[in-house]
Amino acid sequence: MSISVSASDGATISRLAPVKINLALHVTGQRANGYHELEMIVAFGDFGDHISVTPALHDDFTVSGYYAPFIPLNNDNLVLKARDLLRTQTPSKCPPVHIHLEKKLPIAAGIGGGSTDAAAALTALNELWQLDLPYEALLELGLHLGADVPMCLHSQQNGAPLLVRGIGEDLSPLVEFPALHILLINDGTALATPTIFKALNKRDNPSLIAPNAFQSIDEVCAYLRKTRNDLFRPAETLAPQLQSRLDELAASGADFVQMSGSGATCFAIFSSCENMLQAKQQIRQAHPDWFVVTTQTYGNH
């Protein structure tokens, strides 16, 4: 999953911050502290942002890429929160660093942008600073940054699809799961996750059917048709065009379509790479100003 080089002699460590796709998302309850109980099937793709860290004379943070203008450069940014949180572990071993974020994922889009950036920053800095913190320690730190960060940290390990429970901390890799050909689209709509959860009418929905081993994309899609995204209806109240986005994906020949996370990014799974690329060309020509990208998720066999 990650691309890295030695941190000696001022070298840069770079990591992919992969897109996170919620293939299914069931809201099954709410805790006394307000956090929601979730059950999700999550996959990670080979497309995403990029984080690079380099030793520096003073702390610096720069951003490039199409979505760079929308990124806060202060401590509201999860990347900087990750840096500062990691530095509290052993401050004497954490000298100044230049962090660069290449931002390819849209903001507030339900595909883990900020969380996957934070996870990539944690692992890159752990290596740069030679802290040698184990994966379990990083998971604990990640949960302080946000419920999605632990699963994104898993993607830095091997990227296998996950069954996720609780508020996002209970991670179970799916042992038999094929790589998927996925088309992602977003028409520019940004939806804040807290706003979507507030719009939920029902918080004690039925659980996921436990996933079995999947040998093919067809088997995955057959299973996903029995699942839901319980955030779709509240998201649709704020972005009524979402159903038409799913309809457009379905009409392009997809085998399964759904909204990811709290939206408004929608995705389509295709039986073949060729079908996916044809659909991408068709939708990109019709909507040149949309976010339209393809990705192959990491499987586990």
The mean per-residue pLDDT over the stretch 119-135 comes to: 97
Q: What is the DSSP letter of 299?
A: -
Residue ranges for the binding site?
Answer: 106-116
β-strand pairing of 266-270 with 256-259? antiparallel
Specify the pLDDT at position 294: 98
Statement to judge: residues 25 and 151 lie in one domain: yes
Q: Which two tokens stand for residue 168?
A: 């996002």
Residues 16 and 152 in one domain: yes
Does residue 33 or residue 56 have the better pLDDT? 56
Instruction: Band the pLDDT of 2: cuts 50, 70, 90.
Output: very low
Of the pLDDT bands very low, low, confident and very high (cuts 50, 70, 90), residue 4 is very low
| Residue after which a domain boundary falls, among 145, 173, 201 | 173
Residue 2 domain-assigned?
Answer: no
Residue 291 lies in a domain: yes
202 and 96, same structural domain? no
Do 158 and 35 sit in the same domain of this protein? yes
Look at the alpha carbons of 283, 114, 116, 206 in this order and tell me if their dihedral is positive or negative. negative
Do 137 and 190 have their domain in common? no
If asked whether residues 166 and 202 sit together in one domain, one would say no
Share of the chain residues as helix, strand and coil, in percent rounded to the nearest 5: 35, 30, 40
Tokens encoding 274: 């060729």
Residues 161 and 267 grouped into a single domain? no
pLDDT value, residue 10: 64
Active site includes 104?
no
| Residue 3 confidence (pLDDT) | 37
C-alpha closest to that of 245 among 192, 295, 185, 182: 185
155: confidence class by pLDDT, cuts 50, 70, 90: very high
User: Does residue 301 lie in a domain region?
Assistant: no
202 is catalytic: no
- 197 and 142 in a single domain? The answer is no
Listed residues 142, 173, 204: the one ending a domain: 173
**Which of 147, 173, 199 is the C-terminal boundary of a domain?**
173
> For the residues 146-162, what does the mean pLDDT come to?
94
Catalytic choice (117, 148, 187, 230): 148
Query: Are 283 and 185 spatial neighbours (Cβ–Cβ below 8 Å)?
Result: yes
- Binding residues for ATP, by number, are 106-116
User: Do 151 and 73 reside in the same domain of the chain?
Assistant: yes
Catalytic site residue from 20, 103, 104, 280? 20
Which domain covers residue 147, as residue numbers? Answer: 8-173
Query: Per residue in 244-291, pLDDT tens?
Result: 999 999 999 999 999 999 999 999 999 999 999 999 999 999 999 999
The answer to whether position 16 is within a domain reads yes
